[in-house]
Each structure stands twice: as structure tokens, then as C-alpha cells.
Amino acid sequence: MDRLTSYLPLLPYRDTQMPLLIETPSLFLFVPADRPDRYAGALESGADAVVIDLEDAVAAETKSIARSMLVDRLLSVPVATVPVLVRVNGAGTSFHADDLAAVSCLLQAGRMAGVMLPKAESAGHIRAIRAGLALPAAIVALVETAAGLALADEIAGTADRIAFGSVDFAADIGCDHSREALLHARSRLVIAARAAGMPAPIDGVTRAIRDEEAIESDARHGAGLGLKGKLLIHPAQIAPARRGFAPTEAEVAWSDRVLAAMGNGAAVSLDGQMVDAPVIARARQIRNNHDRTSNGHP
């Protein structure tokens, strides 16, 4: 790692005030680390964060080259206006330490917001990353195994955000990659995140790259379960995913009627249904989400 560590004195760390814990919903776009020609397009795509992938997207024999490409490119361009994370290789791999050294270099240069840890299965792994990095950074724990889900509370209490690696999870437990088969896992992560006081989880990918109807439907399904973000594998998925997390016209109309009927905050009746504090809180969430997304914010 001499070549990478030689970069460390080049630039002081700058606090860019980027939202490391992006409020909901948030769209995280993957880009392969060995395709630096795609970095600029990803950063300008409209995604809420970009994840440069050193893990699944890069073959084992080219990981060292990809890591160097990552550092070279990010140090040669202006500081990104959206958060940039690196999906490092797993804690049990031979690539993990070198990946963290590269991230430390980029943190000190003000080019990096955080780390995505694949196959997160231990709070100890997350603590080790924090201890090993040169500066504080956001850590997104990617839960993609049964072992990780079993320790969801522990992981949520240690990471800054959790994401669901649905494809790997389905392969790990031998189930279909379907809504029904993955319902428990998604709900479990939502509950763990809420109990830990962290932002809601980020949902997994939709494998249909350009099927806008499927992407929007998947995002809306995740939103209905309490997930508030999504991992994306192509810029074409951004617009339909964002639509899926935005409230529908019917939801907005309902929320406006509830808020108009609430009076002094006491329980009232609307269309024969009781409207009390929890219902009012939900109506406010929908209205706030609508206002935020209408103004172009995630």
C-alpha cells in the first residue's frame, strides 16, 4: 500500500457538510470501481449517493488495479457534490485491509463520505472499521445473510445505516427473490433500524435494469413496509425508484383531509373512521414527504 499511503499528505480533510445519513428516501447508485470513466456520469445522475464498488463488480485478479484507479480518479477531480461511498470487500477477505487504506486516503483528501460493508454479520466488524479509518466516516452495513439478519439489532446499533442485500440474502437461505419470501427479512430490518434510532433501511436492487414499472412497483412496495431508500444498479432506475417512494395523489389527498379535520388535535371522525394522534402523525409524514420530493429533495 505504499503507493496509496503516499497520497495521504496531499490534501487536508475538508468538512463538506454533506448529509452522511441521507434522510428518506435515498437512492444509492452503484458504479464499478474498475470503470472510472463512469464515475462522472454516476455523480451527475441525480442519485442521492454514489457507491463505488470494489466487491461484487470487480474480479479478484483486478481488485488491486481497481483500487488504484479509484484513488487516482477521485483525487484528480473536484470534490463531489453528493456523498461518495466505497463498497469495500468483506471483513474476512484478503482485500479488506487494503480497501480501508484506500478509503482512509480519500477521507483525508475530502473525497469520501463513508463505507458500505458487505455481508455485515458482526458489530465487531463495524467497530474495527471505525478504528481503522483515518477519520470519522459513515458506515452503511449491508445485511445479506441469515447470520447478519439474526444480529440485525446489534448491527443497527453500531452502523449509521443498514441496507438489504436481497439477492445475496435469497441465495444464502435458498428462497425465491420475491416479495413474499423476503417479507420477514425486510420487516425485521425496519424494526431494527427504528429501535436503534437510525434512518430507515435501504432496500435491495431490482434486477430488471430498464423495466420502469417493475422498479417503481418495487420501490413502492418497500416504502409500504417502512424502507426509505433503494440500491440501484443503473442510472435509468433513478426516476422510477423516486416515483415509487413519493406519495400517490390519493395518499396526499387523504393526508390533506385528515389534517383539515384534525381541529385542535383531539380525536375526530372522518368518513366513519377515527382520526387520532397516530393517524394525524401519519398524515403529516405523507404531506412532508410530498413537499420534500416536490421540491426536488430526496
At 265 the pLDDT is 58
277 and 224 share one domain: no
Average pLDDT over residues 159-167: 96
The answer to whether 269 and 275 have CB atoms below 8 angstroms apart is yes
What is the residue range of 288's domain?
Answer: 250-294
* Of 138, 184, 140, 188, nearest in space to 162 by CA: 140
262 and 222 share one domain: no
Cα–Cα dist 279/252, whole Å: 13
Cα–Cα dist 41/37, whole Å: 8
- Is the model's pLDDT at 113 over the cut of 70? yes
Domain boundary among 211, 226, 245: 245
Q: Which amino acid is at 135?
A: L
51 and 145 share one domain: yes
The answer to whether 49 and 113 have CB atoms below 8 angstroms apart is yes
Cα–Cα dist 63/71, whole Å: 12
Quick one: cell of 14?
Answer: 475538508
152 and 279 share one domain: no
276 in a labelled binding site? no
82 and 220 share one domain: yes
In the chain, the number of structural domains is: 2
111 in a labelled binding site? no
57 and 100 share one domain: yes
201 and 264 share one domain: no
- Is the model's pLDDT at 155 over the cut of 50? yes
* Of 99, 96, 46, 90, nearest in space to 70 by CA: 99
pLDDT band at 269 (very low <50, low <70, confident <90, very high): confident
Percentage of residues of the chain with pLDDT beyond 90: 68
220 and 144 share one domain: yes
Residue, of 266 and 195, whose pLDDT is higher: 195
- Is the model's pLDDT at 7 over the cut of 50? no
257 and 217 share one domain: no
160 and 281 share one domain: no
251 in a labelled binding site? no
229 and 139 share one domain: yes
Q: Residue 213 sits in a domain of what CATH number?
A: 3.20.20.60
- Is the model's pLDDT at 174 over the cut of 80? yes
Buried b (16+ CB within 10 A) or exposed e, 195-228: ebebbbbbbbbbeeeeeeeebbebbbebbebbbb
Over residues 23-53, the pLDDT tens digits come to 555 899 999 999 999 999 999 999 999 999 9
206 and 265 share one domain: no
Q: How many Å is the Cα radius of gyration of the chain?
A: 20
At 266 the pLDDT is 62
Domain boundary among 245, 260, 283: 245
Percentage of residues of the chain with pLDDT beyond 70: 88
